[in-house]
Amino acid sequence: MSVGTRHSEVNALFGFAERQFYVYKRYWVWELVWLFYSIVSVLSIGFLASGLTTLGVGSGSFDLRKAQLYLLVGALLWGYLSLVFMEAAYQIAWERWEGTIEYTFMAPVRRITHLMGISIFAIGYGLARTFIVLVVAIALFNLDLSHANVLGAVVVLAASIVPLIGLAILTSVLPLLSPQKGEQMSFALQGFMLLVSGVYYPLSVLPFPLQAAGAVSPLTYALAGIRHSLLDGSGAGDQLPTVGILLGMGVILIPVGILVFTWAERRAKRLGLLKRSG
């Protein structure tokens, strides 16, 4: 790739993120509403943990504080991951709805740049929103993070971005495959990830086929790693195997995501699915 082409691609990558920033700025009231929804979703899980004592769960060796942190970490990360999924899938569906999808697809930009631009913005936005929810949760539940190793958690979170980009690209394919039902299909996929990735419970409680599905989900490793650091104080060094698994999954998922997207784009061009009317 020549220097000029590389410069153009970087410009376009920034352009996708910048466009989204302008869109969110314009829809800021909606963003506040969604932030409110994220906060109340996470808080309700936190209060669910607090309420366990009234059900007689908090006796014996049961560590209620730990359970609360376990569930809150799950809720926070799930909020973040589901947001990234939704943003990635919604990009294509939304461009079709706006009628701009043909304009974007005929621009002289490599598809990898387009998809990376979408994913990177979604991840950045998801992290920013999750940070706000985290601050509210810490303040409200007076979370005990004295045993936590924040650096270890951050390292795992950073590594999880790589497979997450691959998953986001794969999710964004769905509206390209089916203009009418693609977005709903991405919600179904999200729901399945929630079921098998150990968001609110350990994988061991699942029947074997679901455990097997959970074992290939990068979210399982991201959640387990972050929980180890925040609940048990695992440091960045201890997290190296988890980081390796996450990066390995990303190395597979990103090219697979791009290949699948390229196939779906060719199919859409063959069948004439890029038009708004489908």
Note the residues at the interface with another protein (CB under 8 A).
4, 7-8, 11-12, 14-15, 18-19, 22-23, 26-27, 98-100, 102-110, 266, 269-272, 274, 276-277
State in angstroms the smallest separation of the CB of 124 from another protein.
17
User: Cβ of 81: how many Cβ atoms within 10 Å?
Assistant: 26
How distant is the alpha carbon of residue 46 from its chain centre?
20
Contact 209, 101 (CB under 8 A): no
Residue 8 CB, nearest approach to another protein (Å)? 4
Whether 92 contacts 175, CB under 8 Å:
yes
Q: CB-wise, 24 or 187, nearer to another protein?
A: 24
Q: Which residues contact 197 (CB under 8 A, 6 or more apart)?
A: 214, 217, 219, 220, 223
Question: Please, what is the minimum distance in Å from the beta carbon of residue 68 to another protein?
Answer: 40
Angle made by CA atoms 22, 26, 30, in degrees to the nearest 5: 120
**Smallest distance, Å, CB 264 to another protein?**
13
What is the smallest separation between the CB atom of 28 and another protein, expressed in angstroms? 11
CB of 259 to another protein, least distance (A): 17
Report the C-alpha gap between 134 and 131 in whole angstroms: 5
Separation between Cα atoms, residue 75 and residue 64, nearest integer Å: 16
Q: Which is nearer to another protein, 18 or 144 (CB)?
A: 18
Closer residue to another protein (CB): 28 or 208: 28
Instruction: Check: CB of residue 72 under 8 Å from CB of residue 46.
Output: yes
CA dist 5 → 13, 25, 104, 108, 112 (Å): 12, 30, 17, 10, 14
C-beta of 53 vs 100, nearer to another protein: 100
Among residues 70 and 261, whose Cβ is nearest to another protein?
A: 261
Is 21 or 47 the residue whose CB approaches another protein more closely? 21
